[in-house]
Structure 1
Amino acid sequence: TPYPIEKEMDKAVADAQASLGRSESFDESTLTELRVKQKYTGHRNA
């Protein structure tokens, strides 16, 4: 089950893609890197 912050991140990415109108600007490696950093930060601050 995703943490709520992950859902917020997904929404933020989706909103950014929609506003840019260019989903290719966010490739899988970028999304993966964001998730890893976000998870690491969440665990570190827990």
Structure 2
Amino acid sequence: MSDQYKIHEPDKAYFITMTTVGWVDIFTRKNHKMAIVNSLKYCQENKGLEI
């Protein structure tokens, strides 16, 4: 991964944005929604992500 996407100042707030291919409705499809939720939970528990 390049340094462009790494956090260099952990005491500051960061904003991220994402897009989906083909404008898939990820929040109305349970399996897509849960994949995102589980990924965020993993990052909270194992990588110190604060939401």
TM interval, shorter chain, is 0.3 to 0.5
Relative to its length, the structure with more helix (as a share) is 1
Task: Flag the structure with more relative contact order, 1 or 2, with Cα contacts below 8 A and sequence separation at least 6.
Answer: 1
The higher radius of gyration belongs to 2
Q: TM-score, normalised by structure 2?
A: 0.36
Q: TM-score, normalised by structure 1?
A: 0.39
